[in-house]
Structure 1
Amino acid sequence: MATKDNQADYLESYHDFLDETEVNRLGLMSNGTWDLDPRRLGIMLSRYKFVSKMFAGKQNVIEIGCGDAFGSRIVKQEVEQLTVADIEPRFIADVKQRNSKKWPLIPIVHDILEKPLDAKYDAAYSLDVLEHIPADQEDRFISNITSSLSSDGMVILGMPSLESQQYASPASKAGHINCKSGLDFKALCNKHFKHVFLFSMNDEVVHTGYYPMAHYLIALCIK
């Protein structure tokens, strides 16, 4: 049975926790998502959790096309060092402003279509980027990522399926110029990697189900 002293100790430790916790805020993109479609934020974060589990224990990882990198902290929880790269300086400035002392990220501005990264990484991932890359530049996009990896590096690529686009908003459809069906996505990855494991995703659930019924596709690739 709880005593008044136990209750007082609990309240004191709880207040200490509140006082010592960093004050955080949403990033530029995630703030807009939270305002327009809160449910979508949970779905987005679940994709980062999948990446974090696949890359657990990796020493040096990079995210290509990080946006505001709000979900990147989930990956940082499982890897030693995480660099987050984006072509848009405004996003990177926002990431630097929100960077956490407990979960530090290394933010850089970089155009992966222009050239590979200068450093070599154990693993790389890119979520919701490939569908914005013109089809005639998709091979360069993937090649520059693989050229930024160590010899046994791993890559995770995630994108909305072509079949999902009938349910997408007009704004999303305008930017999604290169969505693919499952087998076409796997064929593209097979051109660049020795092993490709393709997963389906619906809402927060990653599975091995029928590709045409998947809303989202995730490819785990090994050089």
Structure 2
Amino acid sequence: MTDQAQTKEPQYELLYRVKQEHGISRFGIMANESWNKDPRRTLFTLARYKFVSKMFEGRKRVLEIGCADAFGTRLVQQTVGHITATDFDPLFIQDAKERLDKHWPMDLIIHDLLSGPIPGSFDAVYALDVLEHIEPAVERQFLTNALGSLEPNGVAIFGMPSLESQDYASPQSKAGHVNCKTMPDFKKLMEEYFHSVFMFSMNDEVVHTGYHKMAHYLFALGAHKK
């Protein structure tokens, strides 16, 4: 079918205009793996980004820590002013830059948060599926640097698999997980950095406030930085 083809219903001609303007989008290397090996996991990951996008709607300068291939970052980008996305792995940042759409500009930076804060000032910071990869001995160093660029009135979201979920996680999901937490322990850690911490549970793509021991994933939303 060519770009000059006419669809049966005229409203779908928009599909070809978007194709001409943006091309055909590609998965990132991480999203591509999950889409081909476990498509439902792709949905669960994107649902985490959707939660952040709703919580951060209207924020002006947002920092993502541990963006990987930055495939899900666009969901947050849709509701905020500007995104700076970082990862410590150059291959992920290279992949994200190769797929960057000029209509969806973002800053992509290689940075290891254990080495220091990101330069600049942000009114929101988030990290999904990152903290569980940070050794407990250096988690406070990581969090101090992660929040070093957060403005006093800014907000932050950290998300990680629950400790209880690891009994059911696949070997791939558990690989590198050295610091999963229960919700009470997660909240206690976040309260070292924020006066207000709000906890959410997640099962599959559903975010809720149900019994935390049955949650597969946890969100901590921090406000009023100490």
Determine if the TM-score, normalized by the shorter chain, exceeds 0.5: yes
Residue by residue over 1:56-110, the C-alpha shift from the partner in whole angstroms, topping out at 9 and shown as x without a partner, is 0111001000000100000000001001000001111111111112221210000
CA shift in 2, pair 1:9/1:50, >3 Å: closer
Q: Please tell me whether the aligned partners of residues 132 and 179 of structure 2 are also in contact (alpha carbons under 8 angstroms).
A: yes
Q: Distance in 2 between matches of 1:40 and 1:139?
A: 29
* Higher share in helix: 1
Q: Shift of the alpha carbon at 1:196?
A: 0.3
Q: Distance in 2 between matches of 1:71 and 1:89?
A: 18
Between Structure 1 and Structure 2, how many residues are aligned?
Answer: 218
The correspondence of residues 117-128 of structure 1 with structure 2, limited to 5 A, is 117-128=118-129
The reply to whether residue 144 of structure 1 matches residue 163 of structure 2 is no
The correspondence of residues 21-100 of structure 1 with structure 2, limited to 5 A, is 21-100=22-101
The correspondence of residues 72-221 of structure 1 with structure 2, limited to 5 A, is 72-221=73-222
Indicate the SS of the match to 1:175.
coil
Indicate the SS of the match to 1:201.
strand
Q: Which residue of 2 aligns with 1:4?
A: none
Residue by residue over 1:4-23, the C-alpha shift from the partner in whole angstroms, topping out at 9 and shown as x without a partner, is xxx68556555444433432
Q: Distance in 1 between matches of 2:78 and 2:192?
A: 31
CA shift in 2, pair 1:36/1:193, >3 Å: same
Q: Distance in 1 between matches of 2:87 and 2:9?
A: 48
Q: Please tell me whether the aligned partners of residues 66 and 128 of structure 2 are also in contact (alpha carbons under 8 angstroms).
A: yes
Task: Give the counterpart letter for 1:111 in structure 2.
Answer: D
Q: Distance in 1 between matches of 2:122 and 2:15?
A: 40
CA shift in 2, pair 1:100/1:164, >3 Å: same
Q: Distance in 2 between matches of 1:151 and 1:22?
A: 40
CA shift in 2, pair 1:202/1:115, >3 Å: same
Indicate the SS of the match to 1:43.
helix
CA shift in 2, pair 1:35/1:15, >3 Å: closer
Q: Shift of the alpha carbon at 1:169?
A: 1.4
Q: Distance in 2 between matches of 1:179 and 1:32?
A: 23
Q: Shift of the alpha carbon at 1:134?
A: 0.2
Q: Distance in 2 between matches of 1:14 and 1:218?
A: 36
User: Runs of 5+ in structure 1 lacking a partner?
Assistant: 1-6
Indicate the SS of the match to 1:156.
strand
TM-score by length of 2: 0.92
Q: Give the CA RMSD over aligned residues.
A: 1.7
CA shift in 2, pair 1:155/1:10, >3 Å: closer
Residue by residue over 1:144-172, the C-alpha shift from the partner in whole angstroms, topping out at 9 and shown as x without a partner, is 11111111111100000000001111233
